[in-house]
Every structure is written in C-alpha cells, then in structure tokens.
Amino acid sequence: MAKHATPMLDQLETGPWPSFVTDIKRQAEFRKKNQEKMNYQIPVDVCEDLLGILELSFKHGRTHWKHGGIVGVFGYGGGVIGRYCDQPEQFPGVAHFHTMRVAQPAGKFYTSSYLRELCDLWDFRGSGITNMHGSTGDIIFLGTTTPQLEEIFFELTHRINQDLGGSGSNLRTPSDCVGQARCEFACYDTQALCHDLTNEYQDELHRPAFPYKFKFKFDGCPNCCVASIARSDMSFIGTWRDDIRVDQKAVAAYIGGELKANAGAHSGRDWGKFDIQKEVIALCPTGCMRYEGGKLEINNRECTRCMHCINVMPRALRIGLERGLSILVGAKAPILDGAQMGTLLVPFISAEPPYSEIKETVIEPVWDWWMEEGKNRERLGELIKRQGFGKLLEVTGFKPDPRMVKEPRSNPYIFWKEEEVEGGWERDINEFRKHHQR
C-alpha cells in the first residue's frame, strides 16, 4: 500500500513511453523492502513523499518547492542546488530535497561498474532518484538532506575519484558531442578539448567569480549535436578549410541506388529514387556544386560547410583534412533582454593540445573583459550587445572580418575614435566663425 494516493500520477503509468511514475514507485518499493538491510541515511519513504507532493502539484497546478535554498560543501561556492518543500509536515521525506550535480565524463560514455558505484552511494545517502542527465550535462543526484552533502562529497572524491559539477555565477560543467569517438564528421577531438578545459578551469567552475553563469560546449561539426551554438556562452564548432573529399565511385553508388541517401534516415517513407540534382545540388545553400558527365564537382572556395551534402552522402563525401574549429560567443536564453545564438568571433583556430591559442587568445581575454565590465547577472551576450561587438574585438585583438557579420549595418550612426579622425575633436568656434558668419 502506497503512502499517498496518486490518482492523477497513476494515469501516467500507461502508454508506450517509459513512465517516470512507475519508475519512482519501483524505487519506493525497493527502499521499503530494503532486502539488503541498508541503513538508509535519508528517510526511507523519500520517493513516496516525492510522488505525494507531485500529486499535490498536479492537483493545484502549482509547484510545492520553497524559493531557493543555499547549501553546499566547504571549499566550493556551487555544485549543490538546495531545495525544501513547502509542506514539510505532510511530506517529511522531502522536507530537504537537494540536488547534487556530479561532473560527467566527456561524451557520456560509462562502464556499468562505475555507474554501480554511483548508484550504491546514492542508494545509501540519497533518494535513489537521478536525472541522466541535466541539460548542461551533469549527472544529477536528485534529493538528499543537508547533513549528507559533505558525506557524499567525501565519498565521491575519496572513493570514486569524482568531483562535483558547477552551479551559480561561474563556469558551468562543459559538455560535448560524441565527436571522433563515434562520428566520421568530427573535425576535432571534442572529448579531449572538453576534458582539458574542464580541468584547466576547475577553480572558475567551483568558486563563482563571474558576473553571471558561463557555459562551454563542444560540437565536432556544424550539425551541432550538443547545440553549442544555442546553449553555451562560448561555443566551439569543428570545421575544415580545405576541400571536401569526394569518392566519385561512391557518388555513383548513391545515384545507382546501391547506397541509401542520408544513411537511410528517411527509410520510413517512400520518397522515390535518390535524385542528386534535387536532393543535393539544388539544395546547396551556395549553389557551389554540380554534377555533370558522371562527376560531382564542388567549388570548395564557395562552400560554407553547412554539412548537407556530407550528411546526405556520408560514404561519398568526407570532411577536409585541414581541420580546426570556429568559436561563437554570447548564446543565452531570453532573460533578460532576449534570446541569443552564438555570434561568430573566431572563424578558424587550431584545436590541437595543449590548446594554448584557444585559452590565451580567446577564453581568457573574453573573461578578463566580461569579469571587469559585466554588470551583475549580465551574460556575455548581453555585454556584447551593451558595449558593442567592436569592443569585443578590441579586447581580444581580433581584426574585424566580414565573416563576423551577416550583413553590414544599415543605419549610419557610426562611432569614430578621435584618433581616427584628422585633426582630432578639439576645435575653436571662433576659427569656424572666421569663415562662417552667424
């Protein structure tokens, strides 16, 4: 018999998609039975009370978590999201229900033995409920009490050799796409760069020193599988600057129907026979391709590397060999002055370890500027809007480049620096009047 009746949540136990309700009930049952006679460190009925309070929210159409919550571990300024329910008498199991963010390995590859270690720890000292994973990338331990935070952190670091992730006005946990580990499109080792920068900037991640949050994300190519361009203040997107490699025999195999377009991504519907003119040549955003006399030609100088042709014919077309990445900055959600996607700052930069050029010419100059000039709770993207893209160029030392704009300005409200103008701005009205009477 469950502790609380959950008639509304029960309705989410049917249908084909995995039910989180059934899963939480399973965990509740597991704790109640406690076959291994565990000495649970937070209330045994935490999962039942979680369902109980969620049912109440379903009834009220309102959340039942109190505002905020400031908890953590000594030495760090973030990593734990405190949370207290607003009906602690009715649901004592979730009176404290803090979240711990645990730093995930780049690429989110795991072994079962490692995950089991985490599960055993969380079973003992937490609710047994997780998010795999938070939107930023962390493993999320969902629900424990304040006295357990240091205990969990001690076991994580001493026993599992594992740190917390980030929260607050700091560098948040970086994350990446699957990259070269399992993708032929990857233009650099996203896991290596993600891991290197995460370790390089551990201090910035654990101890908030920024005006607001800051995120890194690493995409191996412009397909953006980790959505860096939309979801990170500094977005690293792989690219190449030589020619797309073409295997003409494989092109012929696509045209002949031996190979499936887009690796078979559209096989659930009859789209007709593959038509290279219609599906590739005519769709190319720059019109830089042609297919004549059984040969596919690409005018690579005009290619903007959108990935479409490569995506459609992965066995015939491959990324170039001179590889690196582009850096885009400023993406953020709407609060406060509107959503932004990343804006191109560095068209091409090398992505080879130890990544000194990326750190010294991009990340650190941008942080120096934003940490000094950024207002309280102002994202990098908003500072760029407030002080201008020109200012960003000034502080990083990059030269203005037409690649940095979608189009030149249409208003003529152009600022000049005094030193750019012959004779400067100090002028004498009497000199002027000598030639122009009042």
Partner 1 sequence: MAFVSSGYNPKEPMKDRITDIGPKHFEEFYPPVIKNNKGKWLYHEILEPGVLVHVSETGDEVYTVRAGGCRLMSIEHIREICEIADKHCNGYLRFTTRNNIEFMVDSKSKVKPLVDDLMSRKQPGGCYKFPVGGTGAGITNIVHTQGWIHCHTPATDASGPVKATMDVLFDDFRTMRLPAHVRVSLACCLNMCGAVHCSDIAILGYHRKPPLLDHEYLDKMCEVPLAIAACPTAAIKPSKVTLPSGVEVKSVAVNNDRCMFCGNCYTMCPSMPLADTEGDGIVIMAGGKVSNRLSAPKFSKVVVAFLPNEAPRWPQTTAVIKKIVEAYAKGANKYERVGEWAERIGWERFFEKCEIEFTHHLIDDFRDPAYFTWRQTTQFKF
Region 396-415 residues binding partner 1, contact defined as CB under 8 A: none
User: How far is Cα 200 from Cα 354, in angstroms, rounded to an integer?
Assistant: 10
User: How far is Cα 26 from Cα 13, in angstroms, rounded to an integer?
Assistant: 12
Q: Which is nearer to partner 1, 67 or 436 (CB)?
A: 67
Q: Which is nearer to partner 1, 132 or 371 (CB)?
A: 132
Q: Does residue 295 sit in helix, strand or coil? A: strand
Q: Which is nearer to partner 1, 10 or 394 (CB)?
A: 10
Footprint on residues 152-171 left by partner 1 (CB under 8 A): 152-155, 157-158, 161-163
- Phi then psi for residue 349, to 5 deg, are -145, 150
Q: Which is nearer to partner 1, 326 or 396 (CB)?
A: 326
Question: Taking Cα atoms as reference points, which of 243, 221, 216 lies closest to residue 329?
Answer: 216
DSSP 8-state assignment for residue 280: I
Q: Which of 170, 175, 343, 396 binds partner 1 (CB under 8 A)?
A: 175
The region of 151-159, 291-299, 345-353, 362-370 touching partner 1 under the rule CB under 8 A is 151-159
Q: Which of 178, 252, 395, 404 binds partner 1 (CB under 8 A)?
A: 178
Q: Which of 35, 36, 37, 61 binds partner 1 (CB under 8 A)?
A: 61
User: How far is Cα 131 from Cα 137, in angstroms, rounded to an integer?
Assistant: 10
- Phi then psi for residue 327, to 5 deg, are -115, 125
Q: Which of 71, 80, 177, 281 binds partner 1 (CB under 8 A)?
A: 177
Residue 117 near partner 1 by CB under 8 A = no
DSSP 8-state assignment for residue 403: G
Footprint on residues 306-365 left by partner 1 (CB under 8 A): 306-308, 311-312, 314-315, 318, 333-339, 341
The region of 61-69, 287-295, 345-353, 422-430 touching partner 1 under the rule CB under 8 A is 61-69
DSSP 8-state assignment for residue 279: I
Question: Taking Cα atoms as reference points, which of 1, 96, 9, 13 lies closest to residue 56?
Answer: 9
DSSP 8-state assignment for residue 243: P
| Minimum distance, C-beta of residue 415 to partner 1, in the bound complex (Å) | 18
Number of residues that bind partner 1 (CB under 8 A): 148
Footprint on residues 214-243 left by partner 1 (CB under 8 A): 222-227, 229-231
User: How far is Cα 227 from Cα 181, in angstroms, rounded to an integer?
Assistant: 18
Residue 253 near partner 1 by CB under 8 A = no
Q: How many CB atoms lie within 10 A of CB 290?
A: 14
Q: Which of 266, 295, 403, 433 binds partner 1 (CB under 8 A)?
A: 266
Q: Which is nearer to partner 1, 267 or 299 (CB)?
A: 267
Question: Taking Cα atoms as reference points, which of 359, 358, 246 lies closest to residue 303?
Answer: 246
| Minimum distance, C-beta of residue 367 to partner 1, in the bound complex (Å) | 18
Residue 128 near partner 1 by CB under 8 A = yes
Q: Which is nearer to partner 1, 114 or 360 (CB)?
A: 114
Q: Does residue 329 sit in helix, strand or coil? A: strand
Footprint on residues 184-203 left by partner 1 (CB under 8 A): 184, 186, 189, 191, 195, 198-199, 202-203
| Minimum distance, C-beta of residue 396 to partner 1, in the bound complex (Å) | 23
Q: Which is nearer to partner 1, 264 or 424 (CB)?
A: 264
User: How far is Cα 123 from Cα 152, in angstroms, rounded to an integer?
Assistant: 11
Q: Which is nearer to partner 1, 118 or 349 (CB)?
A: 118
Q: Site mask, partner 1, residues 6-25, x = CB under 8 A?
A: --xx-xxxxxxxxxxxxxx-
Residue 183 near partner 1 by CB under 8 A = yes
The region of 268-276, 351-359, 361-369, 413-421 touching partner 1 under the rule CB under 8 A is 268-276
Residue 43 near partner 1 by CB under 8 A = yes
* Residue 155: C-alpha distances to residues 134, 150, 151, 175 (Å): 22, 9, 6, 24
For residues 27 and 93, the answer to whether their CB atoms sit within 8 Å is no
Residue 41 near partner 1 by CB under 8 A = yes
Pairing state of beta strands 99-102 and 139-142? Answer: antiparallel
For the chain, give the longest Cα–Cα distance. 101
Q: Does residue 323 sit in helix, strand or coil? A: strand
Task: Tell me which amino acid residue 403 is.
Answer: R
The burial class, CB within 10 Å (0-12 / 13-18 / 19+), for 81 is buried
| Minimum distance, C-beta of residue 99 to partner 1, in the bound complex (Å) | 6
The region of 76-84, 292-300, 366-374, 422-430 touching partner 1 under the rule CB under 8 A is 76-84
| Minimum distance, C-beta of residue 378 to partner 1, in the bound complex (Å) | 10
Q: Which of 1, 35, 37, 264 binds partner 1 (CB under 8 A)?
A: 264
Residue 115 near partner 1 by CB under 8 A = yes
For residues 190 and 220, the answer to whether their CB atoms sit within 8 Å is yes
User: How far is Cα 340 from Cα 149, in angstroms, rounded to an integer?
Assistant: 35
